[in-house]
Structure 1
Amino acid sequence: MKPVDSFLLILLAAGAIQGLIYGFILLKKNAKNKSANLFLATILFFFSYRLIVEICKLFGYGFYDFWYHVFIEFNWIYGALIYFFVKASVTPKFKINFKKDWIHFLPVFIEFLWSNFIKSQNFYWDGTQESLSWLGYYGYIVWMHYPTMFIISGLLIIFYAYKSSQILKQKRDEHLIYIDKVQWIKRVLFVLKYYAIFLIVMVLVDVLFFDYAFRKYYSYPLFIGMAIVTYWLGLEGFNRRNNDVIKTQNIIPDKEKQQLEQIAKALKKLMEEDEIYTNPDLNLAILSEKLNVKPYQTSKCLNVIFGKKFNDFVNEYRIKALKDILKNPKNEKFTLLSLAFDVGFNSKSSFNRAVKKITGKSPKDLKSSN
């Protein structure tokens, strides 16, 4: 085996093993988000299977031998699995409705039948066109001499990545989606979509300029990319297997919702015009007194209308005000902590925690960026 093939073997094996290990971890019964984890594990298993097939080919198995008929293509299943992974992630107690959802698995069923039909032509082929039926001959040409399966696979991934991103944007009355906790799902869609675009571009370059010889220089990057994606996806899924992406809530009557919206309007006025957040002793009771409502109503307004907790809501205003202060060169002579006290923070520790949680940066980075 050539050094480049050995290097490829190590990369593909690392991706395949990672996919299998984390796939089985995601199937554990005691994990949260069981349905979403199941679909993510299935994606990892199919990626790993595809990598194992390529590993076998490096050892000379799968080229018109017994294994050629055993290794079946499942390239068209990734799109549907991505779609159901996202749907299960943001839908409480998700279950597939086969009467309605079977259509999403139709492509892989077609690919399975067509791939077996094409592979069966080798039993009749004697080197002449006449030995095959018209459909068998031209079907073989389209399937084996053009990147048909790869292009369709890439297009399906792109289509379902877009369809899945629309699911994340849908507004739901029956439950809330934690925006910060679906960012990793958006990253998954982003990576898979652009991997699919890369796949399509590479095979089109090969077929347009190199007569689809599918040289190693063009096939290697595709499967190395798949190995990297599988390795990364396994880590992402493992680290977030217990994430609570959604929070169920009762549907609020229109009258109550209107009351909460009125409270929200008054609340924004207090924050933006009166700058009540600069009060270091501000708490839910004081804020509710200013609004002339009960504390539970203020809390519900923050939860339903703004989707935030009291501390996060107030601290966001404080940090925004602090950023505005830092933009003024006249304030460079003051310490960051003294300016933080001016906008309402009452201790160094609470300030540091708030900055890290809301901006993802340290207070030092906050100052340097402004």
Structure 2
Amino acid sequence: MKTVEVLLVVLLAIGALQGLVYGFILWNNKGPNKTANRFLAAILFFFSYRLLVETLKIFGLGRYDFWYHTLLEYNWVYGALIYFFVKSYVRPTFKLGRKDWIHFLPVGIEFAWSNFIKTQNFYWDGTRESLSWLGYWGYVVWMLYPTMYVVAGSLIIYYTYRAQFLLKNEAGPENIEIIPGKTRWLYRVLLTLRIFSVIYVVVILIDFFFFNFASNFFYAHPVFIGMAIITYWLGIEGFNRRNEIIVKVRQPLSGKEKVQMEEIAQSLEKAMRRDQLFRDPDLSLTKLSKQLEVKSYLITKCLNLHFGKKFNDYVNDFRIEALKELLKDPTNDDYTLLGLAFDVGFNSKASFNRAVKKSTGQSPTQLKSTL
């Protein structure tokens, strides 16, 4: 065995071993993130399995022998596992329900199809006629094209975006609040897996189109080295964060508190829409509290529970809506964008730019051009 291949075996083996060790630790962890840890353990187990299969291939095993029929593909399971891993973190009461199993349908299809294709070797006598139409073309698409790899990478990319949506806590339970700053490591995990998947798909396609899908050492194996590194890192990261709480559960409001929040919400809307207090560049939570004769902590609570916003975001949204109306008015064409921003209550260019970008996803200039 060449020195480079020995080094490759060592790297893949270390990644696989690390994944198995941390996988078992996380699977048996009884902490607050038990369900999430088990999904992460499953990801590590499947990553380790894939690395071990690749290691066997370096030794010449798994290519049309006993191992070829035993070691089946599970490449399409990663995406769903990643999604449920994140969902379990941000939904503490989440349990895998009957409707959730639909997300594992792709790996079920992959498993069945892989079995079917590999059984074609029992009928193959070197001629096309020895196989059925489905067996022949299924084999061509599955074994001679990068179908399974492209689908695997695409599923990971899709599910990392779905998981990222969960981290924003959009359309989530009203009594669940994500603790600021606690989800950064999950964002890093999703971004890393997404970038890796894009590279994975690109490398496989390069191998297919330019090297006749020969799994050239200099193009295919580096992908698995990256997979080993990710497995190693993911195991350590998951172990260190295994008991970390990233959400807090709000206590349900009593009937009296709900009425109180509704009254404060109405007062806030009246202050903004009718009295247009948002135009005051020095408006603060304390100042608004005195104006409404409501304690500041109750206003903050109302903004969080009723509007799902922080004070600055709530006020700035009114300023931006007012700015849009000014921009639509032709009589304001001679005024600068910043001048109009000051007119609706912004007190600096920097805060104005940040608020517009956060609220609309556009720069002020882009916002103006769309109106």
Specify if TM > 0.5.
yes
Residue aligning to 1:343: none
Q: CA deviation at 1:5?
A: 0.5
Residue aligning to 2:154: 155
2:261 is the alignment partner of 1:257: yes
Q: CA deviation at 1:121?
A: 0.9
Residue aligning to 2:109: 110
Q: How does 1:81-120 map to 2 (within 5 A)?
A: 81-98=81-98, 100-120=99-119
SS across alignment from 2:177: strand
Q: How many residues are paired up? A: 297
C-alpha distance in 1, partners of 2:37/2:264?
36
Counterpart AA for 1:105: F
Listed one character per residue, the Cα deviations across residues 234-266 of structure 1 (whole Å, up to 9, x for unaligned) are 111111111111111134465333456568999
C-alpha distance in 2, partners of 1:8/1:132?
37
Residue aligning to 1:218: 219
Q: CA deviation at 1:65?
A: 0.8
Residue aligning to 2:320: none
Q: CA deviation at 1:206?
A: 1.1
Counterpart AA for 1:142: V
CA contact (8 A) 2:200 2:223 kept: yes
C-alpha distance in 1, partners of 2:230/2:31?
23
C-alpha distance in 2, partners of 1:46/1:78?
8
C-alpha distance in 1, partners of 2:75/2:145?
15
> Cα 1:24–1:202, aligned 2, differ >3 Å: closer, same or farther?
same
Listed one character per residue, the Cα deviations across residues 176-235 of structure 1 (whole Å, up to 9, x for unaligned) are 111311111111111111111001100111111122112111111110111111111111
C-alpha distance in 2, partners of 1:162/1:242?
24
> Cα 1:28–1:291, aligned 2, differ >3 Å: closer, same or farther?
farther
Residue aligning to 2:346: none
> Normalization by structure 1: what TM-score?
0.72
CA contact (8 A) 1:263 1:301 kept: no
C-alpha distance in 2, partners of 1:276/1:102?
47
> Cα 1:75–1:274, aligned 2, differ >3 Å: closer, same or farther?
closer
SS across alignment from 2:76: coil
Q: CA deviation at 1:13?
A: 1.0
C-alpha distance in 2, partners of 1:160/1:133?
35
Residue aligning to 2:349: none
Counterpart AA for 2:33: N
Residue aligning to 2:191: 190
Counterpart AA for 1:138: W
SS across alignment from 1:180: coil
C-alpha distance in 2, partners of 1:130/1:275?
80
Q: CA deviation at 1:27?
A: 1.6
Counterpart AA for 2:190: L
SS across alignment from 2:75: coil
Q: CA deviation at 1:303?
A: 7.3
Q: CA deviation at 1:51?
A: 0.3
CA contact (8 A) 1:129 1:137 kept: yes
SS across alignment from 1:176: strand
C-alpha distance in 2, partners of 1:231/1:222?
14
Counterpart AA for 1:92: P
Residue aligning to 1:74: 74
CA contact (8 A) 2:44 2:231 kept: yes
Counterpart AA for 2:197: A
> Cα 1:260–1:181, aligned 2, differ >3 Å: closer, same or farther?
farther
C-alpha distance in 2, partners of 1:19/1:77?
16
C-alpha distance in 2, partners of 1:119/1:55?
20
C-alpha distance in 2, partners of 1:276/1:88?
35
Matched-pair identity in %: 54
Residue aligning to 2:246: 245
> Cα 1:299–1:160, aligned 2, differ >3 Å: closer, same or farther?
closer
C-alpha distance in 2, partners of 1:128/1:254?
76
Counterpart AA for 1:256: Q
Q: CA deviation at 1:20?
A: 0.9
C-alpha distance in 1, partners of 2:59/2:49?
16
Residue aligning to 1:167: 166
Residue aligning to 2:131: 132
Runs of 4+ aligned residues of structure 1 deviating over 2 Å after TM superposition are 250-266, 272-277, 288-308
SS across alignment from 1:77: helix
Listed one character per residue, the Cα deviations across residues 39-69 of structure 1 (whole Å, up to 9, x for unaligned) are 0110010000000111111222111111111
C-alpha distance in 1, partners of 2:110/2:59?
26
Residue aligning to 1:313: none
CA contact (8 A) 2:207 2:220 kept: no
> Cα 1:121–1:150, aligned 2, differ >3 Å: closer, same or farther?
same
Which structure 1 residue ranges, 5 or more long, are not aligned?
278-287, 309-370
CA contact (8 A) 1:16 1:49 kept: yes
Q: CA deviation at 1:302?
A: 8.9
C-alpha distance in 2, partners of 1:211/1:38?
39
C-alpha distance in 2, partners of 1:213/1:276?
65
> Cα 1:92–1:260, aligned 2, differ >3 Å: closer, same or farther?
farther
Q: How does 1:263-278 map to 2 (within 5 A)?
A: 273=282
C-alpha distance in 2, partners of 1:256/1:182?
32
Q: CA deviation at 1:275?
A: 8.2
Residue aligning to 1:364: none
> Normalization by structure 2: what TM-score?
0.72
